[in-house]
Amino acid sequence: MNSADLKTRLLCQGVRVPELMRTARRGGAGPAGGRYVVVEKMVVNCFVYGAAMDSDIWLEEEDELCVLVDRNPESTFRDRLPVHVVKDPYFYDLTTREGVPYKKIALLHGVDCLATTVYQRCVRWRTAPCWFCGIERSLEYGGTIQQKTPQQLEEVAEAAKKEGASHVTLTTGTVNTSDRGAFMLAECAAALKRTGLPVHSQLEPVPRTYQELLRDQGADTIGIHIETVDETLFEKICPSKNFSEFSRAWEDAVDIFGENQVSSYILVGLGEDERKTKTGIENMVQHGVIPFVVPFRPLPGTVLESHPLPSLDVVQMYSVWAAKKMMEAGIDPFKNKAGCVRCGACSSVKEYLRSM
């Protein structure tokens, strides 16, 4: 098994870990429920809850080291693989002058990405939420606060930078205004740029003027996440969003932010049509957008909380396809300046591209 396939398997099937290590996020807007590890120089967001409890891969402690052990009789890796488990940073123990724990303001993703959801609610949540999203669950668990201020984020970023954070991801729940949260993200990006860290912003499709505002206020990269390029599936699992808005928003974003700086999540393993998905990924690449292929990960309290984890074959197929199309088009995700693509922990697309 090559490194890219190993990472895909860890992303898809998860890892059984000792109880004390099972301290992952169980809510939020992205691929929660994981522990970050480094294995064979790859950063991986390993699923540790739910269906991961049936995984054949175990994380065990040996003396002062951790290793991955494959207990499948038809093992794909025979050796006990040394693995570095990313520990919580020291800044998690700090609080603001108002007494807000830094950990409730922003989290370390991967090994060097500071990430936050600026506004932890979404206008779609109570009427027609996206089926996979658990953005407001973090509030229910008490793991975060509803809205982070630019000042709070700048303060946490300064502390995180001292521990090695080198870029920032800003996302938000959608607000009920035409900017869909762009103003909030722009204010936060401006504050964070004072720290010298590159900034990634994520939001729904917005008019060009709002994207320009984000760039002008300090955002270096942008993620406009369609989630699935199968339009039929999109209309089912994102019932209050508009599929047709994405192409124009991507075109504007590439023009504004430049080559290799625009990305979109592609969740796979939701029953998407293969032909539509491959065509959609190819079209995305032709727009100059990085397709960040991510295995679907069910979250408690969402419509899809009981949906099975995706198969290894499906995730491999789409990840390899996306890597191949990027290589053909000359798109280089390794040049992405900030955010999920630069971190890479939740997708094996870059690993497949590197192997080509």
What is the separation of C-alpha 254 from the centre of its chain, rounded to a whole number of angstroms? Answer: 20
Predicted local distance difference test score (pLDDT) of residue 80: 84
15-26 average pLDDT score: 65
Average pLDDT score over residue span 27-48: 79
Which CATH homologous superfamily contains domain 3-354? Answer: Aldolase class I (3.20.20.70)
pLDDT of res. 156:
98
Q: Round the average pLDDT of the chain to a whole number and report it.
A: 92
Measure the CA–CA gap between 95 and 189, rounded to whole angstroms: 21
Give the chain's end-to-end CA distance (angstroms, integer).
15
The 8-class DSSP code of residue 299 comes to: -
User: What residues does each domain of the chain span?
Assistant: 3-354
pLDDT tens track for 49-61:
666 677 888 888 8
Does the structure show a pLDDT above 70 at 48?
A: yes
pLDDT in tens, 77-99: 667 889 999 999 999 999 999 99
Give the residue, 138 or 296, on which the prediction is more confident.
296
Q: Band the pLDDT of 313: cuts 50, 70, 90.
A: very high
Q: How far is CA 55 from its chain centroid?
A: 22
Lowest mean pLDDT among 37-46, 55-64, 113-122, 233-242: 55-64
C-alpha distances in Å from residue 216, one per residue of 21, 32, 222: 41, 31, 13
Among 228, 240, 284, 298, CA closest to 32: 298
